[in-house]
Amino acid sequence: MALALTRRQQEIYDYLKEHLWEFPHPPTLDELCTALGLSSKGSLHKQIQALIEAGLVAPMNNRRRGIRLAEEDAELPDENALPMMGYIAAGRPIEAIDHQETVQVPDFLRTSKSCYVLQVRGGSMIEEGIMDGDHIVIEQRDSARNGEIVVALVDGSEATLKRIEQKQGAVILHPANSTMEAMTYSPDQVQIQGILVGQMRRYH
């Protein structure tokens, strides 16, 4: 039978249940301390130890480092799984849809930062080798360097995949298809949601 939790222990457990998947790997005590805004790693260690004794957190050892929930295998995606956030237009903008699914992604196709997966619809990036139906890995970011391929949210509602060019007073989203034209927006119309870091394709 699980031990009774203090209010602080319950808060930590609830945070782990809701946010553990956001970490690129099972978080260390230092990382969890930073995420929770705590100043004492020693105090957090005691709370985690109490959650281990309550059967809610898996014991930490040399083979499985980091903090994991005891029911992680049943309820959380594994270390190679990323959230599948829906579809992204490589032509005119369409809205990305949250499907609440996960996709297995090898380590070399992702970064150590928070990443997610989108499936491409459309053909405006085909000259970059990005085809309709491909799955792309996006590192979650709110800024990008000129020339990077980004997920851009236009007018707060429609997401598109394009190569970005940022000028004084203008953001230009370039397709990679010679039959299509670039789209120009004012900076306040475009919000960067991430950059392309990996790509997967299935051949039938």
Global confidence as pTM: 0.61
pLDDT in tens, the chain (204 residues): 456 788 888 988 888 888 776 676 778 888 888 888 888 888 898 899 988 888 888 887 654 567 888 865 434 445 678 888 888 987 766 656 555 677 888 888 999 899 999 999 999 999 999 999 999 999 999 999 999 999 999 998 888 999 999 999 999 999 999 999 999 999 999 999 999 999 998 775
Task: Give yes or no for a contact between 49 and 70, defined as CB atoms under 8 angstroms apart.
Answer: no
* Catalytic residue selected from 162, 167, 178, 186: 162
Task: State the span(s) of the chain assigned CATH 2.10.109.10.
Answer: 81-200
3-state secondary structure (DSSP) of residue 102: strand
113 as an active site residue: the answer is: no
* Catalytic residue selected from 124, 143, 157, 186: 124
Fold of 81-200: Umud Fragment, subunit A (2.10.109)
| DSSP for 51-98, written as a single string | HHHTTSBPPP-SSS-S--BTTHHHHS--TTEEEEEEEEESSS-B----
Task: State the span(s) of the chain assigned CATH 1.10.10.10.
Answer: 7-75
Which CATH code fits 7-75? Answer: 1.10.10.10
